[in-house]
Amino acid sequence: MRIAYITYEYPPDTPDGGIATYVHQVARMMQQRGHGVEVFTASSSRNGTQVVDNILEHRVQETDRGIFRKRVGEIFALRHRDNPFDVLEGPDYYADADHAIQLVPDIPFVVKVHTPSFLVNGLTGAVDLRRRLRYELWKLLATGSIVPNSISIFLLNKLRRGEESLNSLYRLEREHALKADIVAPPCEDMCSIVENYWQISKSKIRFSPHPYLTTGTNDPLFDDHGKKIVGFVGRLERRKGIDVLVRSIPLVVRVFPDVTFRFIGNPLNHSSGQRYDNWIKNFLGKYKDRAEFFGKVGLEQIPLELSKMAVCVFPSLWDNFPNVCLEAMSVGRPIIASSSGGMREMLNGGEVGRLVPPGDSRALARSIIELLGNPKERQRLAALAKIRLRSKYSWEFIGPSMESMYCDAISRARQRRR
C-alpha cells in the first residue's frame, strides 16, 4: 500500500504532543512492513521534501494550523495526482486533513482520534473561563460599576469571538470525522465518546491502539544514588492532573522526606494566571525544594529521563491514550495512573500498574508512598509493564491490525464511490 499521513505535529520541527509521537512510530512501523509511506507536516523554519528513514517527508513552513490545513491539502493533492495513494490518515484534532479530502474526496480516508478539541477545552476549563469572564464583564456594565467604553466593548466582542471560534472548530472536527471511511480511537472510552457525542455510526468505528517500539532493558530500577524520584512527563496543565499531583506532594514528603518530584514538560498557565511551575512552587511553600522542573525535552530524550525515575505518575483527569505511558512501560518503570480513559486499558485494569480515581490526591499519595516503600513491588510492576507492552502494543502486534483497518477503509471507499 501507499499510505499518506497528514499531521501538523511531527518531529523534529513540531514535536509538541502525542500526535507527533504516534505518527513518528506508525509511519516507521508501516514502512518497515513494506509499505510506501509519506508524511505531510508542518515546520516553523523550512519548506521542502526530504527522505528520512526511507520515509518521504513534505514540510510546510507554517505555524497557523488553519492556514497549514489549506496549504498542506494543496500539496497533498498535487502529490496524489502524480503518484496516487491507496489511503490517507489524519488526526481528529484541528482536522489537519480536511482540505486534502475536499480536494481528493474519493480517497480512502481514516481519522485517527487523539482527543477532540471539545474534550481538551472542557478538561482545561477554557470554555468555562471565557464564559465566566464574559458574564462578569456584563454584570459590571449592568450594575454601572464600569462605564461602557471602547475597551469594555472590545473585550466583550473578543470573548464572544473566542467562543464562536471554538464552536466552529468543534463543528469542523466532527464534520471531518463524519467524512471518514473509518474513525479509529485508540481506547474503548473514546470509541463510546465519538459514537455518542459525534453520532458516528458504530459500523465505521475501529478500536485501534497506538503502536510503540520497545526500548530499554530489564535493568534494576535506577534510584539516583539513593534519591527517590517520582516523575511526571507531559504538559504541565490542569487536564494532566498536575493540581492533583501537587496536592499529594506534602502527604508523601511527610513519610519520605528525601523524595524528589520531577516535572518534565512545558508549563502552561494555571487558572490563577501564573505559569504552572511558579504556581507549584508557591503552593508547596516549605516543600518547594522537593519539586524540580526540567522543562520540555526532545522526544528522543524522554525514555532516558523516564528511566531515572523510581515511580512514574500520570494522574490525568481524563486521557485518551497518552504515549508517555507506553514510553514508561518500554523502559520498565512502575506506573501510577488515572483510572479514567486509555491508561486503565494500557495497565490492564491495574494488573501491571497502580490505578487511582481521577482527582483524588489522597489516593495518589497512598499509592506513591506504597511503591516508594516497596522496591520489590516496583520491580515486579516494571517487569509486567514491559511484558504487556511487547505483547499488546508492539509493532509486530499492532501492524497487522492497522493493515486490516486500512484495507477496510479502501473497501468502504470503493462502496462509497459506487
All cell numbers assigned to 38: 509519506
Let me know whether 366 and 299 are in one domain.
yes
Residue in 162, 157, 90, 166 with CA at minimum distance from that of residue 121: 166
Give the Cα separation of 156 and 146 in Å (integer): 13
pLDDT of residue 160: 56
Let me know whether 307 and 413 are in one domain.
no
Let me know whether 154 and 264 are in one domain.
no
Give the Cα separation of 408 and 402 in Å (integer): 10
Q: Is residue 220 part of a domain?
A: no
Residue in 222, 262, 221, 259 with CA at minimum distance from that of residue 381: 221
Residues 6+ apart with CB under 8 A from 69: 94, 95, 96, 97, 98, 99
Let me know whether 95 and 190 are in one domain.
yes
Let me know whether 307 and 361 are in one domain.
yes
224 — pLDDT class (breaks 50, 70, 90): very low
Do the beta carbons of residue 38 and residue 122 sit within 8 Å? no
Give the Cα separation of 156 and 152 in Å (integer): 6
All cell numbers assigned to 116: 477532540
Residue 186's domain is classified under what CATH number? 3.40.50.2000
Q: Is residue 221 part of a domain?
A: no
pLDDT of residue 271: 82
Do the beta carbons of residue 73 and residue 99 sit within 8 Å? yes
Task: Provide the domain limits for residue 360.
Answer: 228-392
- Model confidence pLDDT, tens digit, residues 338-393: 998 899 999 999 999 999 999 999 999 999 999 999 999 999 999 999 999 999 99
Give the Cα separation of 340 and 156 in Å (integer): 36
Please provide residue 359's backbone torsions phi and psi, each rounded to the nearest 5 degrees. Answer: 85, 0
- Model confidence pLDDT, tens digit, residues 122-165: 776 554 444 554 445 445 545 555 545 555 555 545 545 555 56
Let me know whether 335 and 388 are in one domain.
yes
Let me know whether 158 and 174 are in one domain.
no
Predicted model pTM: 0.84
Is a pLDDT exceeding 70 seen at residue 55?
Answer: yes
- Mean pLDDT, the chain, integer: 88
Residue in 26, 386, 403, 24 with CA at minimum distance from that of residue 211: 26
pLDDT of residue 144: 53
Q: Is residue 217 part of a domain?
A: no
pLDDT of residue 151: 53
Do the beta carbons of residue 20 and residue 210 sit within 8 Å? no
Q: Is residue 348 part of a domain?
A: yes
Let me know whether 327 and 386 are in one domain.
yes
Do the beta carbons of residue 125 and residue 102 sit within 8 Å? no
Give the Cα separation of 403 and 3 in Å (integer): 10
How much of the chain, in percent, has pLDDT values that exceed 90?
A: 72
Q: Is 379 exposed, middle or buried (0-12, 13-18, 19+ CB in 10 A)?
A: middle
Q: Is residue 404 part of a domain?
A: yes
Which of 94-108, 155-169, 262-276: highest mean pLDDT?
Answer: 94-108
Between the alpha carbon of residue 149 and those of residues 136, 141, 257, the distances in Å are: 16, 10, 55
118 — pLDDT class (breaks 50, 70, 90): confident
Own/partner pairs, 394-398, CB within 8 angstroms, 24+ separation: 394/211, 394/212, 394/213, 394/214, 395/29, 395/32, 395/33, 395/211, 395/212, 395/213, 397/211, 398/29, 398/209, 398/210, 398/211
How much of the chain, in percent, has pLDDT values that exceed 70?
A: 86
In the 8-state DSSP scheme, what is residue 202? G
| Residue 391, number of CB atoms within 10 A of its CB | 10
The DSSP annotation for 72-103 comes to: HHHHHHHHHHHS--SEEEEESGGGTTHHHHHH
Amino acid letter for position 93: Y
Give the Cα separation of 400 and 373 in Å (integer): 41
Buried b / exposed e across 268-303, counting CB within 10 Å, b at 16+? bebeeeebbbebbbebbeebeebbebeeeeeeeebb
Q: Give the count of domains, the chain.
A: 3
How many Cα atoms are found within 13 Å in the side-chain-facing hemisphere of 161? 6
Let me know whether 202 and 283 are in one domain.
no
- Model confidence pLDDT, tens digit, residues 63-87: 999 999 999 999 999 999 999 999 9
Residue in 53, 378, 390 with CA at minimum distance from that of residue 216: 390
Let me know whether 36 and 153 are in one domain.
no
Give the Cα separation of 290 and 250 in Å (integer): 9
Q: Is residue 216 part of a domain?
A: no
Please provide residue 248's backbone torsions phi and psi, each rounded to the nearest 5 degrees. Answer: -85, -20
Let me know whether 142 and 245 are in one domain.
no
Let me know whether 251 and 387 are in one domain.
yes
Do the beta carbons of residue 41 and residue 57 sit within 8 Å? yes
